[in-house]
Amino acid sequence: MSRIIFAGTPAIAAECLTELLKASAEADWEIVGVLTRPDAPVGRRRKITPSPVAQIAAEAGLPVIKAVKVDAEVTAQLQQLNPSLGVVVAYGALLPQPALDVPDRGWVNLHYSALPKYRGAAPVQHTLLNREKTTAATVFQLEKGMDTGPIHGARTYEVPDMSSAGDVLEDLTSLGARMLVELIPDLLAGTSRSVPQQGTPSLAPKLTREDAFIDPAKPASELVGRINATIPEPGAWTFNGHDRMKLGVARLFPREAGGEPGEVKTLTSDRNRGEEAVVMTAGDGRGVVLSEVQPAGKRMMSATDWLRGQQGAVRLGGSA
């Protein structure tokens, strides 16, 4: 029976590992070990917690290697597992050449863009930031360069309106996990026909808290992209007076909103149906429909309930 090692850390990787474990029950291959990042503080109380992948691996009784980087010692541990193939989904560190050489068939990586577009740590976030309408889940052969290897398979994905980066990641994970299960037999047999990446590469570095600041002076389409791209991490935010406030997913208002940039009011979004929406005016005069907000020290709530509780005119924005 062929032996596969899995490298990953966050919840999306844990979902992929779960799907591979289910598929292995009726396959001629098995998951024999997991590489993941070390336990880390989680939540407000900063409780030291195993990664989601480590938790799934422990439930399945798999050997778990926890490492910040893959050095000679970790590489030796991988060699002891005698793998035929390695699968990576958001592990969080690059694999050096000695580790790449451990499995007989090398390593494949599930990436969340149509490579070579958006190589790097945050492909989905940059897809939404740039208001792209389509992206893809891509499985490619890992090599020393960052996300540069030949492609074994890709599945195109249409980005729904009012989708956060978290929503798109979940959908692409389901799509990618199914693709991995389909590709593994050919990958193990060495019969998968990979093709070189084609097109102009672009980079997708991790977004910072500063990247998530929402400045209403910007055009409405840019604001919608930035809001949705930065949810759930690092979290879209702006100012309401001197207080910071987080924002939920947003969409474009179908017409001019009127008022000054940052002004928030209730407008009729569909005149035929009489539907109303909470709208923030952008720098180009267009409107941004806000679905939810989280005032400082409170939980996320509907934008309608929040605005109803405000006294006087409301204007968001300021300097980050």
Q: Which residues are annotated as a binding site for (6S)-5,6,7,8-tetrahydrofolate?
A: 113-116
What are 129's two structure tokens?
Answer: 């930031």
Q: Report the DSSP pairing between strands 134-141 and 263-270.
A: unpaired
Q: Using CA atoms, how far apart are residues 280 and 286, in angstroms rounded to an integer?
A: 9
Q: Residues annotated as binding site?
A: 113-116
Contacts of 165 (CB under 8 A, 6+ apart): 124, 125, 128, 228, 229, 230, 231, 232, 233
Q: Report the DSSP pairing between strands 47-49 and 64-66.
A: unpaired
Helix axes of 11-24 and 165-189: crossing angle, nearest 10 degrees: 40
Q: Which helix (H) or strand (E) holds 135?
A: strand 134-141
SS3 111: strand
Q: Using CA atoms, how far apart are residues 8 and 14, in angstroms rounded to an integer?
A: 7
